[in-house]
Structure 1
Amino acid sequence: MKASNVYIWLVSLMVVWGVNVVALKVLVLSFDPVAMTSVRILFAGLSVLVFLYFMKQLRMPTRREFGVITGVGLFNVVGHHYFLSIGLTVTTAVNAGLILGLIPILTAVAAMIFLRARLTILKFIGIIIGFAGVSFVMMAGSTGGFSIAIGDLYIFLAALTQAISFVLIKKFSTDMSVLLLTGWMMVVGSFFLGAISLFSEPAGYISLLEGEGYQYVIFFASAILATCFGHMIYNNAIRLIGPSESAVFTNLNLLFSLLSAAILLKEQLYIEQLLGFFLIVIGVISGSGAIDHWLRTRRMRRSEVQ
């Protein structure tokens, strides 16, 4: 992936991630959610490591790196995917996709707390607007009747844990490449999820043997396309164009998850969810620092011309 075509890759990825919310909804209703998630993440992680092996970039982590992998993985893999899989069993794919759209804003807030990033007026306004949008989505629930569902709270925790993990990756930086760190985190995190499944879902792994053909197709497509290659593409995009511009594209993820849930799962859309969608989009563009980044870039170009 080159800088010249990174935007095409990002748009394509947002389509895949939007549809993946629907795929996960189907999977958590077809199999025991935590057991399914542990195997899906393990398969995705191994796929990343195999890819790195053929690129001659695979190596074992050091003791310190393993500590970072485990610590960050508890948020990035275990917390995020546990709350996501459980939440999707008791909320709609529409709500899940919209609430997950808050991740760039939550990442900005976490960066202010852990990295002492600067809070600008535009970021502050964006954070308020984004949280207002999620409030509308959560109050709409699955019936449009202004009732907060427990599933929406789980999805919010999934977004929060992933946002915290992004900041921790930067705070506890290592000499590992982002792809290598991602692959090992998935593998290590999958074992933690597996342990949770053994306690909470005694017959969880047995359920994975009782699926239908199309469910296994969805499983492997989600693991390889959305999780494995998806993370590699997005991480590379951050390297090429920066986190602020990459975060703006998550608004397309919101749109495609909304449309795919309505079309593929026939989930009903309510006015509260649509209002929340527009507020979250505005919040992400402003709260993630994308507008600040654009203004800084514009000022720098003007000064160079002068």
Structure 2
Amino acid sequence: MKQNRIYFILVGIMLLWGFNVPLLKIIVSTFSPVTITSLRIFTASLCVFIILAFLKLLRLPTLKETVLIVGCGLLNVVAHHYFLSVGLSMTSSTNGGLILGLGPVLVAILSIIFLNKRLTVIRMTGFVLGLAGVSFTVLAGGGGLSTINAGDLSIFFSILTQAFSFIIINKACKMDPRLLTGYMLLFGSAVLFIIGLATEKDGLASLGNGNLKVWTAFVLSAVFATAIGHMTYNYAISQVGAAESAIFMNLNTMFALAGSVLILNETVYPSHLIGLALIVSGVILGSGAYEELRRKYRRKHHYNSAG
């Protein structure tokens, strides 16, 4: 029963994250992308610290933890959200959501390179399918080669830098992931704000462009998708394991596609659906989810047969 509750929570988080993509599209299309992103991340960090204080988990980091916070913060928050905000200001929410769906495959590839994970034929097949899905999305997404733009590439860099940060965290982090999340968000928001001041002349002035709809999107994105979503995901994933998590990440991609249609009235082309199918297949095979679930089934079957 407890596991079913965790699964329900994971579906809810994927719904939040999926619909967060079109919300971000609204936000970065109204305000200066980097400046508003820094404020959104700062708001999320405050929410995380309030929750941490309530859970009695709040403490100052050690020197070694501070180095980890800075390193991962630059990748997971600064680079990831910078490329994401800039990318979504130049490409469609549909394309962005599909490209972000490649995350688990990129983590698996980097795990093989840096963490000595085993490369199998099934995983290699998944990598090829995932990359083919993203390539199909950006090459054929409604206008052939003309649809390739800097926005699509920026979205890809955003998920690539985040994948690198996950590898570092996996290899070096001994800190509570919820506490690490709060400090990374706080540090990253400060760096992004400085970048915004340096690169966006009218960054702060653009905040006057918002209306009730846009600021509602801002609050939903910052509080629910970024703060509560990431903290809850860290807990849920520790309960069900990596294999199941990769399966649920596919819902994120599908919800992003649905949100782009429902919220932004974007058009989903047949090429997007083909790209979605390839990416979902790639995540299931390339992340190791299929192999792990198959091993669990065999162990369970063997146990039942022996009993």
Could you tell me the TM-score, scaled by structure 2's length?
0.96
Please give the alpha-carbon distance, in whole angstroms, between the structure 1 residues aligned to 2:102 and 2:169: 19
Please give the alpha-carbon distance, in whole angstroms, between the structure 2 residues aligned to 1:136 and 1:200: 33
- 1:234-253 to 2 correspondences below 5 Å: 234-253=233-252
**Structure 2 counterpart of 1:48:** 48
Tell me the matched-pair count.
304
Deviations 1:39-93 (A, max 9, x none): 1001101111110101111001011100000001111001110000000011000
Please give the alpha-carbon distance, in whole angstroms, between the structure 2 residues aligned to 1:183 and 1:198: 23
Please give the alpha-carbon distance, in whole angstroms, between the structure 2 residues aligned to 1:57 and 1:243: 24
Give the conservation status (yes or no) of the 8 Å contact 1:144–1:270: no
Deviations 1:131-170 (A, max 9, x none): 00000011125x4323321110000001111111111101
Q: Comparing 268-277 with 278-287, which one deviates more in the overlay?
A: 268-277
Residue 128 of structure 1, CA deviation: 0.5
Letter in 2 for 1:257: A
The alignment status of 1:113 with 2:123, answered yes or no, reads: no
Deviations 1:258-296 (A, max 9, x none): 111122211112222111111001001111110011111
**Structure 2 counterpart of 1:10:** 10
Q: Secondary structure at the match of 1:122?
A: helix
Q: Which blocks of at least 5 consecutive residues in structure 2 are unaligned?
A: none
- 1:186-205 to 2 correspondences below 5 Å: 186-205=185-204
**Structure 2 counterpart of 1:89:** 89
Give the conservation status (yes or no) of the 8 Å contact 1:126–1:283: yes
| Percent identity (aligned) | 47
Could you tell me the TM-score, scaled by structure 1's length?
0.96
Residue 2 of structure 1, CA deviation: 4.6
Residue 204 of structure 1, CA deviation: 0.7
Q: Which blocks of at least 5 consecutive residues in structure 1 are unaligned?
A: none
Q: Secondary structure at the match of 1:146?
A: helix
- 1:80-229 to 2 correspondences below 5 Å: 80-141=80-141, 143-147=142-146, 148-174=148-174, 176-229=175-228
- 1:61-72 to 2 correspondences below 5 Å: 61-72=61-72
Please give the alpha-carbon distance, in whole angstroms, between the structure 2 residues aligned to 1:203 and 1:3: 49
Q: Provide the alpha-carbon RMSD of the alignment.
A: 1.3
Q: Secondary structure at the match of 2:208?
A: coil
